[in-house]
């Protein structure tokens, strides 16, 4: 299987005014995601999941510097211009976020928003774009899609809005769909339905999915493989079944031990023992960095 996404020694740092620079938000991440795979990235808040995802899409602020290599379909994206990223976004790579409402324009019909995504990347006439948008709305499970085309987002439930965002994200048949906490805002039943939809779409279209979550239950429901992030580092990559059955890293073992029900039911990852907390790790790293800087100056 060929890799749709590959990371080679990826690091991300945010510039600050602090005398001692903060630890990198992403630190030496290397892994590959194969075509048609749903790959989960799991980790507690602040572990660097979103920063890693945003680096693929060129969505980091100017204070961020990215090192290493990120290849999408073999093409290096680190260092691309904003123009080049804009051509990729919504075309080769699409991203969906937790808050569907924030991705949709509240004043504009959902159908036109999907059609516009198509027209932004393809020379396609209005009528054809509308027909394809209705087709996509049907495919993601909006009942009576043709008659709902003209409705604005608030006429839909949260789960239906997330389906519409998924339809827009899939409009141009992206090779890679990045889903950053796509179901976190939804209740558990709707969450399961949306995950099921992502799984079905992956099967029908062969889309590769990078699914970012703090929720081991989400990982267990749809991911083929999973990478565990902690303090910016990728600690462990394993087939989902193996991760739950035989976690190899002590952090992963602690996560699973602290949250056995979460692996089935979908509850928020606990912030586990203080000696593992990101902040305490970072503080130790800051102190070490400060000490070695002082040693270099005075030694």
Ligand X SMILES: Nc1ncnc2c1ncn2[C@@H]1O[C@H](COP(=O)(O)OP(=O)(O)OP(=O)(O)O)[C@@H](O)[C@H]1O
**Between 120 and 185, CB nearer to ligand X:** 185
Helix (H, G, I), strand (E, B) or coil at 106: coil
Burial of 197 (0-12, 13-18, 19+ CB in 10 A): buried
Among 7, 29, 38, 46, binds ligand X (CB under 6 A): 46
Q: How far apart, in whole angstroms, are the C-alpha atoms of residue 123 and residue 51?
A: 33
Among 17, 18, 61, 74, binds ligand X (CB under 6 A): 61
CB–CB of 228/42 below 8 Å?
A: yes
Reference 48, options 228, 270, 272; nearest CA is: 228
Among 6, 50, 94, 113, binds ligand X (CB under 6 A): 50
**Between 15 and 293, CB nearer to ligand X:** 15
The answer to the question of residue 66 lying near ligand X (CB under 6 A) is no
Among 4, 5, 10, 25, binds ligand X (CB under 6 A): 25
Question: What is the β-pairing status of strands 176-180 and 93-96?
Answer: parallel
The answer to the question of residue 233 lying near ligand X (CB under 6 A) is no
CB–CB of 72/176 below 8 Å?
A: yes
Among 6, 37, 51, 219, binds ligand X (CB under 6 A): 51
The answer to the question of residue 213 lying near ligand X (CB under 6 A) is no
Segment near ligand X (CB under 6 A); pick from 46-54, 99-107, 117-125, 149-157: 46-54
Q: Beta-strand (E) ranges in 240-285?
A: none
Shortest distance in whole angstroms from residue 121 CB to ligand X: 27
The answer to the question of residue 111 lying near ligand X (CB under 6 A) is no
CA distances from 16 to 21, 65, 282 (A): 7, 12, 15
The residues of the shown chain that bind ligand X, judged by CB under 6 A, are 14, 25, 43, 45-51, 61, 63, 214
């Amino acid at each position: 299987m060929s890799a749709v996404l590959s990371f080679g020694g990826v690091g991300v740092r945010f510039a600050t005014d602090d005398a001692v620079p903060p630890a990198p938000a992403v630190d030496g991440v290397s892994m590959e995601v194969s075509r048609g795979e749903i790959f989960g990235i799991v980790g507690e808040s602040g572990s660097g999941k979103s920063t890693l995802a945003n680096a693929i899409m060129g969505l980091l602020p100017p204070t961020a510097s990215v090192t290493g290599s990120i290849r999408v379909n073999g093409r290096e994206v680190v260092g691309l211009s904003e123009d080049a990223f804009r051509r990729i976004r919504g075309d080769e790579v699409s991203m969906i976020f937790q808050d569907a409402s924030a991705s949709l324009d509240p004043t504009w019909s959902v159908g036109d928003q999907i059609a516009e995504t198509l027209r932004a990347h393809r020379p396609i006439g209005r009528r054809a774009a509308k027909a394809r948008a209705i087709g996509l709305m049907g495919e993601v499970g909006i009942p009576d899609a043709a008659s709902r085309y003209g409705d604005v987002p608030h006429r839909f439930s949260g789960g239906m809005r997330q389906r519409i965002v998924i339809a827009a994200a899939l409009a141009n048949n992206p090779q890679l769909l990045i889903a950053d906490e796509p179901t976190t805002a939804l209740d558990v039943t709707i969450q399961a339905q949306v995950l099921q939809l992502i799984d079905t779409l992956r099967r029908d279209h062969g889309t590769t999915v990078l699914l970012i979550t703090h929720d081991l239950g989400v990982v267990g429901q749809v991911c083929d493989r999973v990478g565990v992030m902690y303090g910016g580092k990728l600690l462990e990559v394993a087939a989902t079944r193996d991760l739950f059955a035989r976690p190899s890293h002590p952090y992963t073992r602690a996560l699973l031990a602290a949250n056995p029900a979460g692996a089935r039911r979908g509850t928020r990852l606990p912030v586990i023992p203080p000696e593992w907390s990101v902040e305490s790790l970072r503080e130790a790293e800051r102190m070490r960095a400060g000490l070695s800087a002082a040693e270099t100056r005075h030694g």
